[in-house]
Amino acid sequence: MNQPTPVDLERFARLLGSQVVAARKIARGYTPAERWVVSLADGRSAFCKVGANQNTADWLHKERAVYEGLRAQGASFLPELLGFDPDPSRPILALEDLSGASWPPPWTPERVEAVRATLDQVHALRLPVPAIGFMGEAFEGWSQVGADPGPFLGLGLAGEGWLEGALPTLLAAQEEVSLAGEALLHLDVRSDNLCLRDGRALLIDWNHACLGNPEVDLGFWLPSLAAEGGPLPDAVLPDRGPLAALISGFFAARAGLPVIPHAPRVREIQQVQLAVALPWAARALGLPPLGDLAR
């Protein structure tokens, strides 16, 4: 669908207070939510995200609450909230159009530092969102791989012998990471969820916001950063073997699973992140190199 439905166009107009004269579909993102940049008769433009299933509908309600909470605290690292239509099945979140901002990659040292500075600001704030522990088994990835190694081994990143020898170290290391903390986490920092304007980084897509250990937030960004030509994770967070184990386990337990029908690109990006995170864990924990797949 290359244009919004007539019903959605009318809803956009009602929400934004002006008729829509043009709409451009945005392909970024890994969920089935619909994303549109709309041009309005009064000369403004806006970004509209539409919930397409129950998950994305629930996430938009959460995002709306996060945007309102952060703006009330004076946060300037996110777009302006222009409106929200709370329809139970197809809510609409209308935000400031950031099309004119710079969307990485490429990455430069200045851009990396801009993101880190924004994350420092995020982590200094508090919101009434769940603690990171609400994600339950999400951070027990190597336990899941140990129980069913087939999907991970099927990716071809490491052999059965390597996994058998490395798994006890990985299991022990992931348990050393404390998830607990009072810092606000974005927990989905990637280039498709951030842009830069006037030298500052802005973050979008706040549906995973929670409270926890800020190093977990930063650490989960690093595999995608390196995959896009940025520094290796070790260069940003040296000597973090347990954190590398936790993050690599998260992707190792998911990247080889069947494609998600309503979000077919998720496994692809998880594989990209695992291809960086796994060698990071191996280096940081002194595990055998991954190159010999027969080990």
The pLDDT tens digits for 111-166 are 999 999 999 999 999 999 999 977 778 899 999 999 999 999 999 999 999 999 99
Span 63-103, pLDDT tens digits: 999 999 999 999 999 999 999 999 988 999 999 999 999 99
The tokens for 128 are 């009434």
pLDDT above 70 as % of the chain: 98
For residue 270, what is the DSSP state? H
Provide φ and ψ at 62, rounded to 5°.
Answer: -65, -45
R_g of the chain, CA atoms, integer Å: 20
Residues 83 and 187 in one domain: no
Residues 126 and 10 in one domain: no
Q: What is the CATH number of the domain that holds 27?
A: 3.30.200.20
In this predicted structure, the answer to whether residue 292 has a pLDDT above a threshold of 80 is no
DSSP 28-71: -SSSS-EEEEEEETTS-EEEEEE--SHHHHHHHHHHHHHHHHHH
Asked if residue 35 belongs to a domain, the reply is: yes
Residues 248 and 125 in one domain: yes
Asked if residue 101 belongs to a domain, the reply is: no
In this predicted structure, the answer to whether residue 293 has a pLDDT above a threshold of 70 is no
Asked if residue 290 belongs to a domain, the reply is: no
Query: Which structural domain range is residue 46 located in?
Result: 6-96
C-alpha span between 235 and 247 (Å, rounded): 16
- How many structural domains comprise the chain? 2
Span 189-220, pLDDT tens digits: 999 999 999 999 999 999 999 999 999 999 99
The residues, ordered by sequence, that sit 6+ positions from 172 with a Cβ below 8 Å of its Cβ are none
Residues 29 and 144 in one domain: no
Span 18-31, pLDDT tens digits: 999 999 998 877 77
H helices then E strands: how many in the chain? 10, 9
Asked if residue 51 belongs to a domain, the reply is: yes
Residues 18 and 121 in one domain: no
Confidence grade of residue 7 (pLDDT, cut at 50, 70, 90): very high
Residues 54 and 32 in one domain: yes
Residues 128 and 219 in one domain: yes
The residues, ordered by sequence, that sit 6+ positions from 144 with a Cβ below 8 Å of its Cβ are 137, 249, 253
Asked if residue 277 belongs to a domain, the reply is: yes
Asked if residue 295 belongs to a domain, the reply is: no
Beta-carbon neighbour count of residue 143 at 10 Å?
16
